[in-house]
Chain A
Amino acid sequence: MKNGVKKKKFDFRDWLRSLCFLSPSLLGVGVFFILPFGVVVYYSLIDGVGSRNFVFLDNFIKLFDNSAFLLAAKNTLTFSLLAVPLAVILSMVLALMLEARIPLKSQFRTFFLSPMMVPVASVVLIWQVLFNYNGSINELVLLLGGERIDWLLSEYSMVVVILLFLWKNLGYFMILFMAGLANIPKELLEVADVEGASESYKFFAIKLRYLSPTVLFVTILSLINSFKVFREVYLLTGDYPYENLYMLQHFMNNTFRSLDYQKLSSAAVVMAIAMVVIIALLFLAEDWFGKDVEG
């Protein structure tokens, strides 16, 4: 009764009713995500699916002693560190540009979204035509007097895949930012205009703060997509790509094919822990950055 707030009494029937509505989702998540996660953790702590002796951290120690895993982890981290910020910044820039009064706004929006409609196999085919040793880009390089570059089997391969990643994802992220920008209260921007605030001040003090949940969401989505870039890399270069394109997914896929479940599970657990830490840090950043923004 304090402060006039009436504490609601726990209603068991109401709780049960809610549980009934939630149970299909809970069941799905439990069976398809939580349970497999538990099995993977269990596999990472035993010496073999057949013998099932508990070996505690032995599989993890072996994993961190495996240079293929370390290479894959390094490449995945490098790719994410390069591709995720680029995807977030560029998509935000595009959204801001399209928010401005420019001609052919709708056409630009469609243009940036079009890669989402193209099947992965076609995307890969286009990229192969472009970046093959005898591909179009190299023909252009030759025309300009340069020498052929083996784009997918050299240090440039990471650049090619980052380009592919950006081309494929920028449109969708841009739409998310445009939605975020549309949600910024117009009154605030009008007041800032009246107060004579500069564009940069408006961007950093108002827009970016209101966009912080979108930034977080796009970053997480981008991070997850950066792990999924394996699909394109695999189709472009196969099981064993050039060493700087060898991702954690390659490691996991290849170890799965050779049925080394212990190595695979340990790698998956390490990757999950790393992702939890990264996402937790992002939540902390979002909490700090958008703390005085409503919603």
Chain B
Amino acid sequence: MKMNLKKLLCLLMAAAMLLSLAACGSKGEKPDDGSSGKDDAQHPEFAFVTSYEEIYRGEQYYYPRLITDEGFYSFSSEKVGEMIPEGAVKQYEGQFDVYETRLYFVDKDGKITKLENFAPMVQSSNGANVDGKKEYYAGSDVSSLFELPDGNLLALETSYASWYEGEGDPRDPEFRDWEGYKSENSYYIRVLDKTGAEVSATEIPVNENEYLSTYNAKMDGEGNVIFSSDMSLRAYSRHGELVCEIPCDYYIDNIVQLPDGSISIMAWNEGQEMLIPVDISMGTMGEAVIIPNDAWNMFSSGGDHDLYYTSGLSLYGYDLESGEREQVLNWINCDVNGDNVSGITVNEDGSVSCYSNEWDSKTEEYTLTRIDIEKVPYDSVPHKEILRFATLYMDYTMRDHIIDFNRSSDTCRIEVTDYSEFYEYDENGNNLVDGLTVLQTEIMAGNVPDIMELGDLPYTQLAAKGLLADLYPMIDADAEFGREDFFSNVFSALEVNGGLYAACAGFSIRSLIGASSVVGDEPGWTFDEYYAALESMPEGCEGFDVGTTKANILNTLLTIEVDRFVDWGSGQCSFDSEEFIEILKFTDQFPRTFDWENHEWTQQDDAYYRISQGQQMLMGNSIYSVSDLMYNNIGNYFGGKATYIGYPSSEGTGNILNMNNIYGISSACQYKEEAWQLLRTFLTEEYQESQWYLPTNKNVFDAQLEEAMTVKYEKDVDGNYILDPETGEKVPIVQGWLWNDLTGEETPVYALSQEDADAIKALVNTTTKYANYNDSVYQIVLEQAEAYFAGQKSAEEVARLIQSKANIYVNEQR
């Protein structure tokens, strides 16, 4: 049969129109921000060339407080002696050291000059009895410095003093007369010459108990010093006369001098940061302008913009007229750790100068570096291969490692895009653009970053889809370590279809603690064991904290068990299994809601109190380091030994691994070897020794455990052990104090006990579940489970519905 042209056209049109029905709605679009997602072919107009000069390395911390053309002024505390109060016994080194503020000038070459003639307003005291005042603590701090036209310096200094005026003895263990303590603060405007010698000093009159914020004070073009106080702004002449006081309904974050010499404040109100101009001569405030929430630290400098601020990630320029911000540079992509930066100056040619102060915990030294960042045409500098690094949270240490990598690599350069910078909110605080969605959009659109921080991304799904590279072959090929050096249970928890797609340096364990006599000695238990334990408790005893709801428990249990019920690889779900029905039934014993707003909290609601009274069986707890057990003092509340039993589960393994910063490499990355060189850093013993989490490296864990179990002893300055004059024995160093919330007793802790060491070993070795939260699955489960909680449907019916819906969701993701 002959089909004519008209009909053929009709068919094509119908097909095309059908395609217009293909999808609707959108979720998160990438903002027009040139700072990320750059295509290789679309390079920017400029590049930044950074030069560094280390100008100081030592114990002293020099923070630039006043930048001049020759360098900067700084002030810091310096130990001036030791003052042991009468009758007091020194328990550790440094306990009664006395510090005073000193002023320094650091020139651009690192030559440090102490302003020798400077003396603080008040002599420091460290708890001694002075002039009949018991427990007298006093001192004064310089908080701001300004350069005066005549070359002198204007310093704002705050003195403080506190003492005990009552009849009691503060050293008596039974002492409770906290009302007997008195305190006072005084504020001074001091003019100093270049040697620090005082030219004049004026006390600023303030009301009793009034607080002046002197750290954010600024000087305007007229020479007035402007402070913020409790809900007001005050301007004083340099002679201490009050020029004006302007009431302010907002919390003042900072004060900024604009390029024209006038003053504006940055204030926080109803979830928004505002910039408000101030007319000091008229004593009035102008109209507030909403500025980005991270722009509370704006300052004026040269360059093209009126004001600048650093978010820690980027340096932004802000234009007052347009109210727009523009990214000047991204610190990490200029090989600078934005967290260490201070004393930023933007020059007329667009170059940026600043200082960086880094603390080395090994040598216990600060390194002060002068940094100059020059803006040059993009084509004028050689370019390396780019590895794109995507993150939603840039760990401080990771920044340092990326900077080190970029400085040392001849072939590759890591360019970081921190997607947390993409978050945008409207004036009502509603989230307009979501950084995570922007990143997911790019990944799903095929624009996969070479290295990813996976903490917020659906790690299991990405791995199952083949978007991540298996790290096991890289670990196996590494000369420094192999799989056997790491906790196999931790790596297994991260495995997807037998491959390891994430490098993880540290982890914490989320658990529930219960009395060993009730829950047993070994971590992990089943639902039946939980019910039996609860049965053994006094009548009316509850399992969990006050305020625990069905949704809380369901969320936690799903976080632990989601991979048990979902096989992301095959798309098979088993929410209709007996194990899941058991979870639903377990969840049903908790209240549906809790009125957090109107609940009147008393000590009777406190977990410690309830546990001690037999009203509560379990307490939530997280372990972040081997020494955490030293300070938990949990045994006191449980009336003896306690066990990290975890959440009940059908498999009996209810402790949860929370990974700290997990990183993966894209399977499409062309420079996997280079990417691995960065990621492997996190698996090295050197790195894992310095982190705050439980290490994945077994050698580091064992060493940390041994260190925590070793009692250390006081030594004198010559390195000899100090002996107790009464017993003649070495004096152990107190590592911390155990505080009993119920009795107020404090007990010194010298080392981790063998019992606690065994407990943490057992906990680390038996925890096999990775906290793999999936909001979509949780929402599907919660939505359907509501019918069961409301008594409308049976757990089995609800489980079948969940199975049906979850099955569709999971298969869509394949």
Residues of A within 8 A of B (CB): 29, 32-34, 36-37, 40, 47-52, 66-68, 71, 133, 148, 150, 153, 220, 224, 227-228, 238, 240-243, 246, 249-261, 264, 267-268, 271-273, 275-276, 279-280, 283-284, 287
Q: What are 23 pairs between A and B in contact, CB < 8 Å?
A: A33-B19, A34-B16, A50-B447, A51-B446, A66-B811, A68-B571, A68-B808, A68-B811, A71-B808, A240-B805, A242-B805, A252-B22, A257-B27, A258-B813, A259-B445, A261-B444, A268-B19, A271-B18, A271-B19, A272-B18, A276-B11, A276-B15, A279-B14
A275 touches B1 (CB 8 A): no
* Nearest 7 pairs of A and B residues by beta carbon: A48-B446, A50-B446, A259-B444, A256-B23, A68-B811, A33-B16, A50-B447
Measured between beta carbons, the chain A residues less than 8 angstroms from B497 are none
Asked whether B111 is an interface residue with its Cβ less than 8 Å from the other chain, the reply is: no
Given contacts A49-B447, A243-B808, A258-B813, contact A253 B24 (CB under 8 A): yes
Across-interface contacts of B464 in A (CB, < 8 A) = none
CB atoms of A256 and B25 under 8 A apart: yes
B576 to chain A, nearest CB (A): 12
Chain B residues touching A, majority SS: helix
The answer to whether B7 has its CB under 8 Å from any CB of chain A is yes
Question: Given the known A-B contacts A29-B13, A34-B16, A67-B571, are A259 and B441 also in contact in the complex, defined by CB atoms under 8 Å?
Answer: yes
Closest to A37 in B: B16
**Other-chain contact of A33, B13, B446, B668, B793 (Cβ < 8 Å):** B13
Mark interface residues in B785-814 (1 if CB within 8 Å of A CB, else 0): 001000011000000010011011101111
Docked Cα-Cα span, A220 to B446, in Å, equals 37
B447 in contact with A40 (CB, 8 Å)? no
Assess whether B24 is in contact with A276, with CB atoms less than 8 Å apart: no
CB distance from B549 to the nearest CB of A (A): 22
Q: Which of B17, B27, B445, B783 contacts A50 (CB 8 A)?
A: B445
Closest to B812 in A: A68
Chain B positions within 8 Å of A153 at CB level: 801
Contact pick for A240, options B11, B12, B780, B813, CB 8 Å = B780
Q: Which residues 11-50 in B have Cβ within 8 Å of A in the complex?
A: 11-25, 27
Please, which residues of chain A bring their CB within 8 A of the CB of B813?
258
Within 8 Å CB of B783, what residues of A? 238
Query: Is B636 located at the chain interface by the 8 A CB criterion?
Result: no
B440 touches A150 (CB 8 A): no
B808 with A240: CB separation less than 8 A = yes
B2 (CB) vs chain A CBs: closest residue? A287
Cα of A279 to Cα of B804 in the assembled complex, Å: 33
Beyond A37-B15, A253-B24, A259-B440, 4 extra complex contacts between A and B, CB < 8 Å: A48-B445, A68-B814, A267-B22, A271-B19
The contact size tier of chain B is 35 or more
Contact A284 B23, CB 8 Å, known A51-B668, A258-B444: no
Closest-by-CB residue of B relative to A72 is B808
B611 within 8 A of A: no
Could you give, for residues 248-289 of chain B, a 1 whenever the CB lies within 8 Å of some chain A CB and a 0 otherwise?
000000000000000000000000000000000000000000
Write out the residue numbers on chain A whose beta carbons fall within 8 Å of the beta carbon of B479.
Answer: none
| B462-478 contacts to A (CB < 8 Å) | none
> How far is the CB of B435 from the nearest CB of chain A, in Å?
15
Select which of B11, B17, B441 is within 8 A of A280 by beta carbon: B11
Shortest C-beta distance, A187 to chain B (Å), equals 29
B809 touches which one: A224, A240, A279 (CB < 8 A)? Answer: A240
CA distance A283 to B584 in the complex (A): 54
How far apart sit A148 and B805, CA to CA, in the bound complex (Å)? 21
A249→B15 CA distance, assembly (Å): 15
Whether B22 lies near A268 (C-beta < 8 A) is: yes
**How many Å from the CB of B466 to the closest CB on chain A?**
11
Output the nearest chain A residue to B571 by Cβ-Cβ distance: A67
A228 to B787 alpha-carbon distance, docked (Å)? 29
Whether a CB of chain A sits under 8 angstroms from the CB of B88 is no
A7 to B276, CA, bound (A): 82
Contact A47 B13 (CB under 8 A): no
* B364-382 residues at the A interface, CB under 8 angstroms: none
B448 in the interface, Cβ–Cβ < 8 Å? Answer: yes
Name the contact of B19 in the complex, choosing from A37, A52, A280 (C-beta under 8 A).
A37
B3 interfacial by beta-carbon distance below 8 Å: yes
B22, A287: Cβ atoms under 8 Å? Answer: no
| Interface contact B25-A279, CB-CB below 8 Å | no
Beyond A246-B808, A252-B22, A284-B1, is A220–B14 a contact (Cβ under 8 Å)? yes
CB nearest to A242 among chain B residues: B804
Residues of A within 8 A of B18 (CB): 224, 227, 271-272, 275
Separation of A137 and B19 alpha carbons in the complex (Å):
37
A36 lies within 8 A of B14 (CB): no
In the bound complex, CA of A258 to CA of B27 (Å): 9
Residues in A whose Cβ lies below 8 Å from that of B27: 257
CB distance from B792 to the nearest CB of A (A): 6
- What is the bound-complex CA distance between A34 and B20, given in angstroms? 10
**B445 closest partner in A (C-beta):** A49
User: Could you tell me the distance between the alpha carbons of A273 and B14 in the complex, rounded to whole angstroms?
Assistant: 10
Query: Of B10, B24, B442, B812, which is within 8 A of A251 by CB?
Result: B812
Which B residues are in CB contact (< 8 Å) with A47? 446
Asked whether B668 lies within 8 Å of A40 as measured between CB atoms, the reply is no
- Which of B20, B25, B440 contacts A253 (CB under 8 A)? B25
Neighbouring A residues of B440 by C-beta, 8 Å: 258-259
Residues of A within 8 A of B805 (CB): 240-243
- Minimum CB–CB distance from B730 to chain A (whole Å) comes to 64
Q: Which residues of B contact A148 (CB under 8 A)?
A: 792
Q: Provide the residues of chain A in CB contact with B811, threshold 8 Å.
A: 66-68, 71
